[in-house]
Chains A and B, each alone.
Chain A
Amino acid sequence: MKIEDKKRVLREMVLHRRFEERCYQAYIERKIGGFLHLYPGQEACCNGVMEAARPGHDYVITGYRDHVHAIKCGADPKEVMAELYGKETGSSKGRGGSMHIFDAGKRFMGGYALVGGPFPLAAGIAKAIQLKGGDEIAICFLGDAANNQGTFHETMNMAALWKLPVLFVCENNLYGIGTSIERSTAVVHQHKRVAAYNIPADECDGQDIEVVYEHARKAVDHVRAGNGPFFLELMTYRYRGHSMSDSRGYRTREEEELWKQRDPIFILRDRLIKEGATTMAEFEALEKETDAYIENEVIKFAEASPEPSVDELEKYVLADRESQLPWLTGKAA
């Protein structure tokens, strides 16, 4: 990665981290409802892959831990926060919430909360790309636990069979809710599982963005060149629990501390300091500046935004009636 890209990504990763931590606080204050699944610790995964891909051009789909993926694709953090607040200005107009962030304009095709559900959807997006003949690829981010669903195996089979342009990115954070991968999955190394479908795969450290980037670049190139699907496994760790109701009693504080020694933001920061591209003072200023942006713009926007109107409770269930009238009445031209 070029030095200016690394500096930009550091800024983005700090935004992603502080955004998520601010969500935690807003949840405690009961400003955010529902379930809230946070991303700190895994930032190098999404950032590394999307630096190798084309955000806003390639289609991205993911599960419920979706805020950072949306923002990385180009969604406005203000709209993402407003969605978490359930406001009309939210990225899904307050109808989706934390687990259903969408920004179709940025080709972020959404967060889905049925584990494993996005696999076939991603293959379908890739099928549409194949049919239309574009140079985009579909990128499906999901956790390791999703791979035990039937949809995983059904999708790997179809994607390989039809050489669909889809990159599967497994963010292996070692836990499915509160169950460790050793206790739930017969084959712990996820990239080995897709060998059964003749899908090329790779695995790497998910904490070092430069490592992720290098591996993702090869994976993205493979898919974009028309060689069919690729499966990339990134070894990572989430600092917080599965969701806000999780006190993390299933793992030790020692294990958590060990992973924090390999924090993706600090790894990149320290490297940039060593390379003389930044300083600790500059980094601390960046954190403060980011917090100010989140507080003064993102949070303020979410707080000040209007609630959806109850009169529009049933809007968006079906397509706009007027536009569908020819088919609803049979009076097509």
Chain B
Amino acid sequence: MANIMYWEAIQRAHDEEMARDPLVICLGEDIGVAGGTYKATKGLYEKYGPLRVMDTPISEGGFTGLAVGASFLGVRPIVEIMSVNFAWLAMDQMFNSAAKVRYMSGGQLTAPCVFRSAGGAAHQLGAQHSARMEKVFMGIAGLRVVTPSNPKQAYGLLKSAIRCDDPVFINEHELMYNMKGEVPDGEYFHPLEGSEVARAGTDVTLFGYNISVHWCLKAAEILDKQYGISAEVVDLYSLAPLDRAGIKASVTKTHRAVVVEEDEAPVGVGSEVIAIINEECFFELDAAPVRVHSALVPQPYNHTLEKAAIPDHEDVVKAVLKMFGRA
């Protein structure tokens, strides 16, 4: 097991897959000569050259569409969209071409593209560099959405996504690239579907994904130590499809659920998970499931306002205590 950073895990997955298959390429802004804004493609340009590691012009719709077109012929492109905010400009190609081409061609063409993008609020980046957009991607038929919460997942999910014949959107997080964690030494493929129990518990399930898994874990520790409440944390690393069976299993065990998302609440992961709970195990519930989420505002620049807009572990603790009538 190597203890490496999130960005290093992503870089390693790129490197291994590019060494294995000459049709794996990567493209995006600043990913080549400059080595990538988050270093996820560091050293690849020197190793694989400009034909396979492509510094693109700043034109998200254009280079995303180019990657989709190349994938029709069996090329396996990994597109880095520097900030998820810029993905709006690429969505026509992601949604109307990549996600739909298999269906509208009756199975003749497929777009095995990987779209990687950094989402989330970092440090005072303001409204146009702080979005969380997973809720937009997870509602598109034909697109898979995964969201790694640690280096092991970041490595294994990218490896699996590159090999998968479906288009996969990987939602990374700006604040996590320097996070360290254990990654297996040998090749490792993380499942693209499912969820995992990050911490076992008996009294309430905290559903998180990506950075919110860490808020949940911290909250679970506080709940355990200070309030004697045993919280289970479920990491929803796959947002499309969501793991109905995993959600049901945990709620059937704990009978209470809190869904924690950094995104705003309307039509988000929280509403979707709670709908699944209602459909799958409503009569198992001892309390109404709740959401912990950010405020519905364009992300403010001011640090105090920014902090107030985004939830953290304390908000999770509060939500659980309220649910238990102890707030």
Taking Cβ atoms with an 8 Å cutoff, the residues of A that contact B are 59, 61, 90-96, 100, 102-105, 109-110, 112, 114, 117, 119-132, 150-151, 154-155, 157-158, 161-162, 315-319, 323-324, 326-332
Contact = CB atoms under 8 A, between A and B. Distances in A.
Contacts of A112: 96-97
Contacts of B104: 92, 95-96, 100, 102, 110
Contacts of B194: 329
A104 B105 contact: yes
A121 B165 contact: no
Contacts of A110: 101, 104-105, 109
7 contacts: A102-B106, A128-B73, A130-B51, A158-B66, A315-B107, A328-B192, A330-B190
Query: Nearest 4 A-B pairs (CB), nearest first?
Result: A124-B69, A120-B65, A154-B62, A93-B106
A328 B238 CA distance: 10
Nearest to A162: B54
Contacts, number: 185
B193 A117 contact: no
Interface residues of B, number: 57
Given A92-B108, A121-B69, A123-B69, A157 B103 contact: no
B102 to A, nearest CB: 5
Interface string B160-204: 110111100000000000000000000111111110000000000
Interface in B148-164: 156, 160-161, 163-164
B65 A91 contact: no
Interface in B78-117: 92-93, 96-97, 101-110
B19 to A, nearest CB: 16
Given A117-B93, A129-B73, A124 B65 contact: yes
Given A109-B109, A121-B68, A332-B189, A154 B59 contact: yes
A246 B301 CA distance: 50
A128 B108 contact: no
Contacts of B187: 332
Contacts of A114: 92, 96-97
B276 interface: no
B114 to A, nearest CB: 11
Contact of A128 (B59, B63, B70, B96): B70
B64 A109 contact: no
B25 interface: yes
